[in-house]
Amino acid sequence: MQSSISVLKNLPNDVRLERLEALVYASETLNKAQDLDEILFSILDLVQEQLNCERATVFLLDRRTNKLHARQMIGSERIEIILERGVGIAGIVFETSQSLVINDVQSDDRFNREIDLRTGFMTKTMLCVPLRKVGSETIGVLQAINTRGDVFSETCLVYLESFASVAAVAVEREQLVQNAMRVKMLSTELELARKIQQRLLPSQGNIKLQEPFSAWGLSQSCYDVGGDAYDVIVLPSGECVFWVADVSGKGIGAALLMNSLQTELRALVHAEKDLSKLAKALNERINEVAPIGTYATLFLGLINAKENRLSYVNAGHVSPVWLNPQTNETREFKPGGLPIGLFPSGEYDVFDTTFSSTERIAIFSDGVTDAVNTNDEIFEDNGLAKSLKKSPRKMLKASAQSFLKYSTVIAWAHPQATTPRFWLSG
């Protein structure tokens, strides 16, 4: 195939000058026009004039439908035309990224007659060239239809390819602008979503609770929004109910399910005191809205300060860490059921354990134990236990600087309390 420069050299001087001016004008429209349709219309207008044809059309790939859509046309009333990739001449040019000149379209087996039958237009001759971005990615095709002369020549084809290069730059620039706008809009929406999600959690820091309970909490997401949830509520009975949940996955999807879970839990804890029935009801409700394969682990607890008792349901959650400054004894928190929302039905076992005033319990998401510091060291349960033996405030500062890379929620009891007090942190 000849280059556009060599083709221009073979033309008469007056034609060569006119076509050079047309290409320069098309290039200038890139800097003047603010809208892609305006740019493409100007280019098609020049194509129709310079190639002396009846119609010119540009098709662009719509990535949502994976089909070719007529973005702009000239020489006929604007109609919606959608083409399948690989079907018809335009579809074949797109798939092969090879230009075609056809001077007897009606006898060409590749021609799709549906558009002509629909519009009443008779396609006789055609030039069709691909639109290529930098890097040779094909993003559409450019057509010139029905020359008013005898036939389309190879010279016409090469010249149309020159216009296609200009059009491809216009399309790519517009796509970059649109992508930048979408990113900005998404950033704004994510910031709003983050603020909304934060309002569904207790305020960071000290949580206002009546005596003898006190709490401290924090949730730090890996992205703008996340799937961790926690809360602590003192019931009219004087008992304290609390939970830490971790939705599978991260980002917006996890955040949406977290919002549902948090809202449902806050309603259920006031209506159902039996933790087993509460977890079962929550599982049924979340299963109705959660996509298949999406779930949330949950540690749900109920503290009775008068009886020094902790009742809990562990629905697939990371086992909490229990600490008693007077002994090196460890305590296991048995799993009591599958994660919330994993299956439509499920039973949840409730377990009881003592919870004295000097003891501490750390409840967290796996973002704590799976976190890795700059030395490639994993925090793990042992690291958390060692940190909790120190001052809780110092532990928070050190962890935030070195380990808290992902979503994090921790809960522990106040070590100096004379009666059981409850702390949430992260």
The structure tokens listed for 118 are: 């629909």
Entry pTM: 0.59
Q: How many CA atoms lie within 13 A of 112 on its CB side?
A: 17
Is residue 311 located within the same domain as residue 228? yes
Instruction: Give the gyration radius of the chain's Cα atoms.
Output: 34
> Which amino acid is located at 180 in the chain?
A
pLDDT at 367 over 60: yes
Residue 66 lies in a domain: yes
Tokens of 174: 């517009």
267 domain-assigned: yes
Mean of all residue pLDDT scores within the chain:
78
Asked whether residue 242 falls in the same domain as residue 168, the answer is: no
- Check whether residue 316 and residue 351 sit in a common domain: yes
Residue 311 predicted with pLDDT over 60 = yes
The answer on 353 and 206 residing in a single domain is yes
Which of 413, 312, 424, 311 lies closest to 357, judged by CA?
Answer: 413
User: Which residue, of 158, 180, 202, is where some domain finishes?
Assistant: 180
DSSP-assigned beta bridge partners for residue 232: 242
**Do 257 and 227 touch, CB atoms closer than 8 A?**
yes
Rounded CA separation 282/30 (Å): 57
Domain identity same for 103 and 176: yes
Domain end (from 136, 152, 180): 180
Each residue of 222-274: pLDDT tens digit? 666 677 888 888 888 888 898 898 888 777 777 788 888 888 999 999 988 89
Domains: count for the chain = 2
Q: Do 125 and 245 belong together in one domain?
A: no
Nearest to 9 by CA among 181, 143, 158, 186: 158
Residue 37 amino acid letter: D
Q: What is the structure's pLDDT at 399? A: 41
| One domain, residues 142 and 83 | yes
Range with the poorest average pLDDT among 7-16, 159-168, 355-364, 389-398? 389-398
Of 172, 173, 89, 85, the closest CA to residue 136 belongs to: 172
303: left (phi over 0), alpha (psi -120 to 50) or beta: beta
Final residue before a domain boundary, out of 124, 155, 180:
180
Residue 131 belongs to domain with CATH number: 3.30.450.40
Q: Do 206 and 100 belong together in one domain? A: no
Q: Is residue 418 scored above 70 in pLDDT? A: no
Residue 224 lies in a domain: yes
Q: Are 80 and 120 members of one domain?
A: yes
For the stretch 247-285, what's the b/e string if a residue is b when 16 or more beta carbons lie within 10 angstroms of its beta carbon?
bbbbebbbbbbbbbbbebbeebbeeeeebbebbbbbbeb
Nearby residues of 317 by Cβ (< 8 Å), 6 or more positions away: 244, 245, 246, 297, 298, 299, 339
**Which has the higher per-residue pLDDT, 372 or 307?**
307
Instruction: Measure CA 362 to chain center.
Output: 32
- Specify the DSSP class assigned to residue 41: H
Asked if residue 357 is part of any domain, the answer here is yes
Residue 221 has pLDDT above 90, yes or no: no
Question: What CATH number is given to the structural domain containing 385?
Answer: 3.60.40.10
In a domain, 186, yes or no: no
Any domain includes 349? yes
**Is 73's pLDDT higher than 50?**
yes
- Residue 185 counted as domain residue: no
Using 50, 70 and 90 to split pLDDT, how confident is the model at 50? confident
Q: Please check whether residues 286 and 382 belong to one and the same domain.
A: yes
Domain check: are 176 and 195 in the same one? no
**The predicted structure's pLDDT at residue 358:** 67
Residue, of 108 and 331, whose pLDDT is higher: 108
Task: For residue 410, tell me if it sits in a domain.
Answer: yes
Cα–Cα distance for residue pair 138/132, rounded to 1 Å: 4
Beta-ladder partners of 128: 100, 143
Of 205, 268, 261, 263, nearest in space to 235 by CA: 268
- One domain, residues 118 and 208: no
The domain in which residue 351 lies consists of 191-425
CA 116 to chain centre: 41
DSSP assignment of 74-96 equals ESS-----EE-TTSHHHHHHHHH
Residue type, 169: V
Most confidently predicted of 23-27, 93-97, 392-396, 411-415: 93-97
DSSP-assigned letters across all residues of 264-295: HHHHHHHH---HHHHHHHHHHHHHHHSPTT--
Q: What is the DSSP letter of 337?
A: B
> What was the pLDDT predicted at 376?
65
Q: Would you state the pLDDT for residue 126?
A: 95
